[in-house]
Structure 1
Amino acid sequence: MTNYIFSETSLRNFTRRVFLAIGCPPADADLATDVLLQADLRGVDSHGVARLSGYVRLWEKERINTRPDIRVVHETPTTATVNGDRGLGLVVAPFAMKLAIEKAKTYGSGWVSVKNSNHFGIAGYHSLMAVREDMIGLSMTNASPLVAPTYSNERLLGTNPICYAFPAGKNAPVVVDMATAAAANGKLEIAQRTGSEIPSGWVQDKQGNDSTDPNELKVGGALLPLGSDKAHGSHKGYGLGAAVDILSAILSGANYGPWVPPFVAFLDPPADPVGEGIGHFLGAMRVDGFRPVGEYKHHMDNWIDRFSKAKTVDPAKKVIIPGQPELEAEAERRKTGIPLVQAVADDLNQLADKLAVERLF
């Protein structure tokens, strides 16, 4: 399939035009654009501009409010609950992380749970906000129910990503950003666009059998938890996904489990919601609340350097530090541009025509 290469600037300008066209204030359009572009720059193509038309379709269904009144509805000195007013999660989650950071500046740590939001892009964007303040960042979100718990063939959990980001000194931050499912749904969407099979262990069909068809979710199948099956630790992935669901939604008052509204616009939200919208959970911890920052960074660098030099089974390979592939992708794409498969590029041009904004090309 044909790949197109676009500069960061051209994709940024195009994405901003789309967000402005659906009614976002300029500052929100800039922020939402930045979250999506960071995904594309870091090589997380499933969560970048390829998602743009999905947000627009939800806006057309009046499930996204582009001018939300984001507000704190419950608060203590170190914690808060935020109502996102059906806003773009790309805007709501940074609001919540800023609040967590401000609390951490005063009290050492800050924890914010969010309800009534939508898909918030890559979790790493929000966690890295804390890193820039010499803090450890934590972000997670629940998501559309696509994952079957261990032993089940019923979709009850989302891919429910979680991200920890740790500042370092001379080295780049360590960023542990992962879905708690065997694979993110976006990877299935990429396989669908390219006509590729997916690896065994990612999904099961509606009878619970292993499948390599990326379209399985459309015909009643389910994603599997991280670990794929009980023999390979799927109960651990299921447990992590459950923890994300509880912290993001039960704690905040968002929908949880099978009641989480779907990201796709052609499916209606459940008729019997148990909360409001999608939920997130964000946290920030000051490093100097535990030890002097200089000491911490020295040992963080030592940790990174030692793991980077670990002996490997294959001498041609090396141990990868979490976040390193994304950092390398960003350096390369800032120089050479961001690739989009033809299906995504065509989709964006159709979106431009619908919204009467300048096409991407």
Structure 2
Amino acid sequence: MAFYTFTEDTLRNFTISTFLKMGCSSEHAKLAADVLIKSDLRGIDSHGVARLSGYVRLWEKKRINPKPNIRIVHETPTTATVDGDAGLGLVVAPFAMKVAIEKAEKFGSGWVSVKNSNHFGIAGYHTMLALEKDMIGFAMTNASPLVAPTFANERMLGTNPMCYAFPAGKFPPVIIDMATSSAANGKLEIAQRSGKPVPDGWIQDKNGNPSTDPHELKKGGSLLPLGSDRDHGSHKGFGLSATVDILSAVLSGANYGPWVPPFVAFLEPSDNPVGEGIGHFLGAMRVDGFRPVDEFKSHLDNWIERFKSATPISPDQGVVIPGEPELLAEKERKISGIPIIDAVYDDLNEMAAKLGVKGLQSKV
């Protein structure tokens, strides 16, 4: 498996050109590209430019509206429901998060549910918008049904990620960004491209038996909830995923559970949908609604320091604060560039050729 390395600007310009070719406005193309590039910079390769051709294929199927009329359709002083008009979730979610932040600025907190959207990239991007205002950010989304509930052998839920971002003082913010499944589907895709098996506890085959084959989903298998099985707490992962699904979709009017439309274009959405598109739930809370910001940040710094000093099991590995690996990856990749595996490189250039966009030039 070969890797090609590109500068942030090279991948950003390529991504912007692709979204412009889809018919997105310049503003939306730049925003959507920013979400994807942020993912790559933070080392979350499964949700960066590797996803770009997926958005293009959905657009070609007319399942993504490149010029959406994103609007508030229901509102109170502290809450709102946003209709994404089938737009890119990469654009719809930041719109909703800004609504939440504006409400929080006036009333202390803001909560926004979203319907009629699409895949919104990494949840961390949206929560970090709240950090700029000394707020705590929340973001979650439901997703294509790939996960079987505890005791079941039917795909009913998505990987349904949730994210929380907390502003610190002298330390970087604490950002907890995680799937509620045993692994994100993107990690399976990475394993597929690299030809490697996945760890035990990630997936089961179509008969409910454990498997390490990263292609198992294509054979009718399913991902498992966080915890893998009942003996290891999968009911907790199921509960977290259910929470995301209900807040993101049952609350907003989006599709939920097995009715969530698939991200892959060769699979058609349900012919009896229960809602509109994919759903998100975003929120922002002013820290000073609870205590002075400086006090909170000082104590969160103290929290971070104490956890970092916890007695390690091995002297070679200490406690890792949530968000720390992504921050280190971002610092490194801004200097050394963003690595793209050969399968993604080939996929992007094939997509570019079809669209008439200038392709990526290899730089091993």
* TM-score normalised by structure 2 residue count: 0.99
Shift of 1:81: 0.1
| Secondary structure at 1:304 match in 2 | helix
Summarize the alignment of residues 1-361 of structure 1 with structure 2, pairs less than 5 Å apart.
1-361=1-361
Looking at structure 1, the residues matched to 219 and 358 of structure 2 have their Cα atoms a distance apart, in angstroms, of 36
- In structure 2, give the amino acid aligned to 1:68: P
Give the aligned residue type for 1:77: P
Q: Deviations over 1:121-140 (max 9, x none)?
A: 00000000001110000000
Long gaps (5+) in structure 2: none
User: Which amino acid is 2:73 matched to?
Assistant: V
Tell me how far apart the structure 2 counterparts of residues 357 and 122 of structure 1 sit (CA, whole Å).
25
Deviation, structure 1 residue 351:
1.0
List 4+ stretches of structure 1 deviating above 6 A. Answer: none
- Report the 3-state secondary structure (helix = DSSP H, G, I; strand = E; otherwise coil) of the residue aligned with 1:133: coil
Shift of 1:357: 1.1
- Give the letter for the 2:35 counterpart: V
Distance 1:351 1:119 in 2: 19
1:84 Cα offset (Å)? 0.1
**SS class of match (1:140):** strand
Distance 2:358 2:147 in 1: 38
Instruction: Say which SS state the counterpart of residue 151 (structure 2) adopts.
Output: coil
> What is the root-mean-square deviation of aligned Cα atoms in Å?
0.4
CA–CA distance in structure 1, aligned partners of residues 75 and 206 of structure 2? 43
- Provide, for residues 98-125 of structure 1, a one-character-per-residue CA deviation record: whole Å limited to 9, x for no partner: 0000000000000000000000000000
Q: Classify the secondary structure of the residue corresponding to 2:239.
A: helix
3-state SS, counterpart of residue 201 of structure 2: coil
Instruction: Give SS of 2:284's match.
Output: strand
Indicate the SS of the match to 1:57. Answer: helix
Work out the number of aligned pairs and report it.
361
User: Which whole-Å CA distance do the structure 2 matches of 1:317 and 1:189 have between them?
Assistant: 28
How far apart are 1:49 and its partner, in Å? 0.1
Identical aligned residues as a percent: 71
